[in-house]
Amino acid sequence: MNNIYNKIIEHIKNTPVINTHSHHLPDSEFVNADLHFILSNSYANWLAAPPKRGDRAGAAEYINKHRCNSYFRWIIKSLEELYGLEMTADNYDLIDEKLTASHKDALYHLEILKNRCRFEKIVNERQPDPSSNLGHPDLFSPSFRCDCYFSGYLKTKPEPNGFFAYSTFEKNDIHTLSEYLDEVKKAISKKKNDGCKALKCAIAYERPLDFDEYNLSKAEKALNNESASEDEINAFGNIVMRTLCEAAAENGLPFQIHTGMGQLKDTNPIKLLKIIEENQNTKFQLLHGGFPWFSDTYALLHNYKNVWSDTCWIPYLSTSAAKDYIKSALEVSDAFRLTWGCDTWTSEDALGALFSMEHTLSLALSEMVIDGAFETEYAFYIADRIMYENGKQLFDL
């Protein structure tokens, strides 16, 4: 690595972090945590189930098969740093023993977040308890996930993590769409008063991000209707999405929207063009750069000052793509609208995600310095903005 990269990464590693998007698990989940639990609750689990203790051949194949993958690369680096051993088939069980022993201290997982990751605040979104601060309000500021309002056209239908819209409502009997939307708005104001710092929508895992059609009578047909058509359910969701945008603006809460990966059918960020255009007072924080459709996010960042980009997950999806993303996103916007979150469930994975961002951000900024875009001092300034100041300002932390 070049000298400028080294200076930038050293600077980043000595500054605190505002982590703008996470799914960190509650304390109780870390009791008796072992390596299998940590890997099973990491992105590496999307590649393959981790080997069990004692399976040396399984560990060898697991490591050889996945070394090239970004999820794997960075959680392994995290485990190696935390437990002081190189990840090899021979060391797999030794790392497991050290990790298991460390988690005997019930607060160890928080120590990693505070001391190793340098997280000062974490905007956390936890299902099925979507506004929980995990009992640690000093560290966690909840983001309220609103996916339940899309499934709430039926009182008995939870969102995929088991959370019911009606559990947040004052009224238990709702007969009209306008009554329903009133309850949604009241629930969001209440969550804001309870300490939530953002709204979150991950509906891209369930439906397209095209909310353009506005048809109240079709939407009304879905309410309390067990045999509503997909078209009617989508029309209902379109109205819900508009209500969420309005409620975000009215309550001064940034609206975090998962873009890109998910069901992959029409989940590219440009699908949000119309609702961004119509809701200029809503602060849209688009997550993941819309990977792999980065150019959609570049266009939205360029044209709309009410669009922010959270780089969470991008360095984990593809480290090399993330470097290019950071450069282009900075070039089309400014130093104030990029943020970063770990987007992980456990502390080991959070540290891996942080390593991946420190590396890609340093690579991106050092290339911009070498290209003559700015001096190294300004690269430090941008790094501080992305890793700290922008999140602190956007979420009022």
Output 205 or 381, the one with its CB closest to Zn ion. Answer: 205
Q: Which is nearer to Zn ion, 343 or 349 (CB)?
A: 343
Least distance from Zn ion to the Cβ atom of residue 151, Å = 18
Would you say 343 or 348 has its CB closer to Zn ion? 343
* Least distance from Zn ion to the Cβ atom of residue 390, Å: 18
Give the range of 114-122, 141-149, 325-333, 338-346 binding Zn ion by CB under 5 A.
338-346
Q: Which stretch binds Zn ion (CB under 5 A): 232-240, 246-254, 341-349, 350-358?
A: 341-349
Taking the least distance from each CB to Zn ion, the nearer of 343 and 358 is 343
CA–CA–CA angle 57, 59, 60 (5° rounding) = 65
Q: How far is the CB of 202 from Zn ion (least distance, A)?
A: 7
Smallest gap from Cβ 23 to Zn ion, in A, equals 6
Minimal distance in Å, beta carbon 19 to Zn ion? 12
- What's the min distance (Å) between Cβ of 21 and Zn ion? 6
Nearer to Zn ion, 21 or 337 (CB): 21
Q: Which two tokens stand for residue 120?
A: 């000062």
The count of chain residues that interact with Zn ion, using the rule CB under 5 A, is 1
Angle at 349 between CA 346 and CA 353, to 5 degrees: 130
Of the candidates 383, 289, 369, 345, the residue with the CA atom closest to the CA atom of residue 33: 345
Q: Which stretch binds Zn ion (CB under 5 A): 186-194, 235-243, 318-326, 339-347?
A: 339-347
CB of 343 to Zn ion, least distance (A): 4
Residue 181 or 314: which CB sits closer to Zn ion?
A: 314
* First and final C-alpha spacing in the chain: 35
Which region, judged by CB under 5 A, interacts with Zn ion, from 164-172, 335-343, 369-377, 380-388?
A: 335-343
Residues 374-393 binding Zn ion (CB under 5 A) are none
Can residue 349 be called a binding residue for Zn ion (CB under 5 A)? Answer: no
- Which of 96, 220, 343, 358 is the binder for Zn ion (CB under 5 A)? 343
The binding track of 23-62 with respect to Zn ion, each residue x by CB under 5 A or -, is ----------------------------------------
- Output the residue with the shortest Cβ distance to Zn ion: 343
Per-residue tokens: 162: 């088991």
Please state the closest distance from residue 24 (CB atom) to Zn ion, in A.
11
The window from 221-229, 249-257, 324-332, 336-344 that contacts Zn ion (CB under 5 A) reads: 336-344
* Range in contact with Zn ion (rule: CB under 5 A) among 82-90, 110-118, 174-182, 342-350: 342-350
66 close to 50: Cβ distance less than 8 angstroms: no
Q: By C-beta, is 147 or 343 nearer to Zn ion? A: 343
The CB-of-306 to Zn ion minimum distance in angstroms stands at 21
Of the listed pieces 95-103, 242-250, 295-303, 340-348, which binds Zn ion according to CB under 5 A? 340-348
State which residue, 112 or 317, has the beta carbon closest to Zn ion: 317
Q: What is the SS3 string spanning the chain?
A: CCHHHHHHHHHHCCCCEEEEEECCCCHHHHCCCCHHHHHHCCHHHHCCCCCCCCCHHHHHHHHHHHCCCHHHHHHHHHHHHHHCCCCCCCCHHHHHHHHHHHCCCCCHHHHHHHHHCCEEEEEECCCCCCCCCCCCCCCEEEEEECCHHHHCCCCCCCCCCCCCHHHHCCCCCCCCHHHHHHHHHHHHHHHHHCCCCEEEECHHHCCCCCCCCCCHHHHHHHCCCCCCCHHHHHHHHHHHHHHHHHHHHHHCCCEEEECCCCCCCCCCHHHHHHHHHHCCCCCEEEEHHHCCCHHHHHHHHHHCCCEEEECCCHHHHCHHHHHHHHHHHHHHCCCCCEECCCCCCCHHHHHHHHHHHHHHHHHHHHHHHHCCCCCHHHHHHHHHHHHHHHHHHHCCC
CB atoms within 10 A of CB 16: 14
Interface positions with Zn ion (CB under 5 A):
343
